Amino acid sequence: MKLLAKTNRIYLAFSLVIYLLTALAFYQIIRYLIYDEVESRLQIERRDFETYVRIHNTWSSSPYFVENKIEVAPVSQPPTSRRAFFADTLIQNRYDDELIPFRQLTFYVPIHGTLHRVSIRKSLIQTYRLIEAVTFTMATFLGLLLIGTFWFQGKLSGRIWLPFYNTLSRIKHFNLNSEAPLQLATSEITEFNELNEVLQKMADKMRQDYQSLKEFTENASHEMQTPLALINAKVEQLIQSEQLTEIQTHWIQTIYEASRRIVRLNQGLLLLSKIENHQFQGIQLIDLSQLLVEKLQDMEEVLSFKELTVHICSHDSFEAELPVALADILVTNLVNNAIKHNQSGGFIELDSSNEFLCLRNTGGTLVSEPQRLFERFKKEGTGTDSIGLGLAIVKQICDSYELSISYKETQGNHQFRISRLLPADSNKMIT
Contact between 169 and other proteins by CB under 8 A: the answer reads: no
**Rounded Cα–Cα distance for residues 59 and 63 (Å):** 12
CA atoms within 13 A on the CB side of 6: 3
Pick the binder of other proteins from 29, 75, 99, 233 (CB under 8 A): 233
Q: Compare residues 169 and 219 and give the one whose CB is closer to other proteins.
A: 219
Tell me how far CA of residue 377 lies from CA of 265, 380, 391, 405, in angstroms: 10, 10, 9, 18
Pick the binder of other proteins from 229, 313, 421, 422 (CB under 8 A): 229
Q: How many residues bind other proteins (CB under 8 A)?
A: 54
Q: Compare residues 103 and 274 and give the one whose CB is closer to other proteins.
A: 274
Cα-Cα-Cα-Cα dihedral sign, residues 401, 404, 409, 414: negative
The CA dihedral of 55, 56, 62, 65, to the nearest 10 degrees, is 30
Contact between 230 and other proteins by CB under 8 A: the answer reads: yes
Contact between 273 and other proteins by CB under 8 A: the answer reads: no
Q: Compare residues 253 and 426 and give the one whose CB is closer to other proteins.
A: 253
Q: Compare residues 153 and 400 and give the one whose CB is closer to other proteins.
A: 400
Contact between 299 and other proteins by CB under 8 A: the answer reads: yes
Pick the binder of other proteins from 110, 305, 311, 377 (CB under 8 A): 305
Contact between 263 and other proteins by CB under 8 A: the answer reads: yes
CB of 279 to other proteins, least distance (A): 8
Q: Compare residues 34 and 288 and give the one whose CB is closer to other proteins.
A: 288
Contact between 236 and other proteins by CB under 8 A: the answer reads: yes
**Nearest-CA neighbor of 122 among 91, 150, 151?**
91
Length of the chain: 431
Work out the number of other CB atoms within 10 angstroms of the CB of residue 373: 19
Pick the binder of other proteins from 253, 284, 309, 314 (CB under 8 A): 253
Q: Compare residues 182 and 288 and give the one whose CB is closer to other proteins.
A: 288
**Rounded Cα–Cα distance for residues 62 and 59 (Å):** 8
Pick the binder of other proteins from 334, 339, 350, 403 (CB under 8 A): 339
Q: Compare residues 121 and 341 and give the one whose CB is closer to other proteins.
A: 341
What 247-255 contacts at long range (C-beta under 8 Å, 24+ apart), as own/partner pairs, is 255/231
Contact between 387 and other proteins by CB under 8 A: the answer reads: yes
Sites for other proteins among residues 25-54 (CB under 8 A): none
Contact between 225 and other proteins by CB under 8 A: the answer reads: yes
Q: In terms of DSSP H, where are the helices of 57-161?
A: 125-160
SS3 389: coil
**Rounded Cα–Cα distance for residues 162 and 154 (Å):** 12
The CA dihedral of 206, 207, 212, 217, to the nearest 10 degrees, is 90
Q: In terms of DSSP H, where are the helices of 277-319?
A: 288-298, 300-305
Q: Compare residues 294 and 316 and give the one whose CB is closer to other proteins.
A: 294
Query: In the beta sheet, which residues pair with residue 408?
Result: 415
Pick the binder of other proteins from 246, 355, 369, 425 (CB under 8 A): 246
| Radius of gyration over every alpha carbon of the chain, rounded to an integer in angstroms | 46
CB of 390 to other proteins, least distance (A): 8
- Which of the stretches 104-112, 115-123, 133-141, 318-326 binds other proteins when contact is defined by CB under 8 A? 318-326
Q: Compare residues 22 and 249 and give the one whose CB is closer to other proteins.
A: 249
For residue 131, give every residue at least 6 positions away whose Cβ sits within 8 Å of its Cβ, in sequence order, or none.
27, 30, 31, 34
CB of 260 to other proteins, least distance (A): 6
Q: Compare residues 385 and 409 and give the one whose CB is closer to other proteins.
A: 385
Cα-Cα-Cα-Cα dihedral sign, residues 77, 83, 88, 93: positive
Contact between 276 and other proteins by CB under 8 A: the answer reads: no
For residue 118, give every residue at least 6 positions away whose Cβ sits within 8 Å of its Cβ, in sequence order, or none.
46, 49, 70, 71, 72, 106, 107, 108, 109
Query: In the beta sheet, which residues pair with residue 420?
Result: 403
Contact between 218 and other proteins by CB under 8 A: the answer reads: yes
Residues that bind other proteins (CB under 8 A): 218, 221-222, 224-234, 236-237, 239-240, 246, 249-250, 252-253, 256-257, 260, 263-264, 267, 274, 279-282, 298-299, 301-302, 305-306, 323-325, 329, 332-333, 336, 339-340, 384-387, 390
